Structure 1
């Protein structure tokens, strides 16, 4: 009699389920730069805090944001088809918190300038105006691709978010004479720096913050 091996025991086990707490803990160790996404809608200017913002392409100039499904602010912006991105400075952590809350009229009392994509917050390190190129399903989020139509920037330090806390970027000392004290290289290129974070208190993830790295 020929024995047939039990091949079911040779099948490697499938990947273990990843818990939401473990996912947040690990991804929360990736420092991100909060931005404010805003637009002019039929009901007035609206905006929300977003931590999942990144460049996609240089030619054509494309960026992407990750937006939580169910965000009522995003639903308003989507109907407009264009948006603005304000890259926050390290002095604007209060705005990151303000626009992260599910409250009405978040721009009331906030200084901003009209842009081709929407409201551009005063004091931000950079502004980008975009048209919405595509909205893609991605689990419990959407990945939104935007085409950059206008942009500007100023010197300063960025706001960072790391493990549930806001902080700032500390440039490393450099002997390069073309890099100034803010870490900026003459001509617009950025010098190397340290991603050390000066903590400013624990901030639990508010309802309107998008991006999966935010601790719950």
Structure 2
């Protein structure tokens, strides 16, 4: 199989959309990611997968903490900004704080974590995060499927 076939097959798995944030020396850094999942209830652990070429890899390694912000249906623009598809300079992005971590206002879930382990696998590093705090909002999620943003159908 070639790389495109693999990517297309993985795109058939509908996911939520997250923005992962971290802070280094007072500067907030972020990236859009859909490679996120829960790992364990006891202790509360999640995992994010970061490409070895991503600048975010070094930022999380340095800060040893991150937040995962699960985006609401009306936050497509935030996803595009942190995916590098829209210029951030044109937008005044305001971050809230949850404990000592930056989070995106309006996200349906904000999850702050301390890195408990990092595993290099293939061309990505998997960061296991021990959950330190959670805040949730009641809203519909932004969905990504087959290379396009989607929303849940209304019942």
Same fold (TM over 0.5): yes
What is the deviation of 1:34? 1.1
Q: Give 5+ residue unaligned stretches, structure 2.
A: none
Paired with 1:117 and 1:83, the residues of 2 have a C-alpha distance of 10
Partner of 2:28: 45
Q: Which residue of 2 aligns with 1:91?
A: 74
Structure 1, residues 76-106: CA drift from partner, whole Å, max 9, x if none? 1220111111110010011101001189967
Q: Secondary structure at the match of 2:93?
A: coil
Give, in whole Å, the separation in 1 of the partners of 2:47 and 2:154: 26
Distance 1:109 1:125 in 2: 20
1:69 is aligned to 52
Matching residue of 1:169: 152
Q: Which runs of 5+ in 1 are unaligned?
A: 1-17, 173-216
Q: Give the corresponding residue for 1:110.
A: 93
- Pick from 148, 160, 184: which aligns with 2:143? 160
Match of 2:132 in 1: 149
Deviation >4 Å, runs of 4+: 102-106
Tell me the secondary structure at the aligned position of residue 13 of structure 2. Answer: coil
**Superposed CA offset, 1:174-199 (max 9, x none):** xxxxxxxxxxxxxxxxxxxxxxxxxx
With structure 1 as the length reference, what TM-score do the two structures score? 0.67
Select the structure of larger CA radius of gyration: 1
Partner of 1:119: 102
Tell me if structure 1 keeps the 8 A contact 2:23–2:59: no
Q: Distance in 1 between matches of 2:145 and 2:50?
A: 19
1: CA distance, partners of 2:114 / 2:18: 17
Q: 1:103 to 1:76 in 2, by over 3 A?
A: farther
Higher RCO (CA 8 Å, separation ≥ 6 residues): 2
The SS at the match of 1:101 is: coil
- Output one character per residue of 1:91-128: Cα deviation in whole Å (capped at 9) or x when no partner: 0011101001189967x611321223521111110101
Please tell me the root mean square deviation across aligned C-alpha atoms, in Å: 2.1
TM-score if structure 2 supplies the norm length?
A: 0.92
Number of residues paired by the alignment?
Answer: 155
Query: In the alignment, is residue 130 of structure 1 matched against residue 125 of structure 2?
Result: no
Q: Which structure has the highest strand share of the two?
A: 2
- 1:117–1:130: 8 Å Cα contact kept in structure 2? no
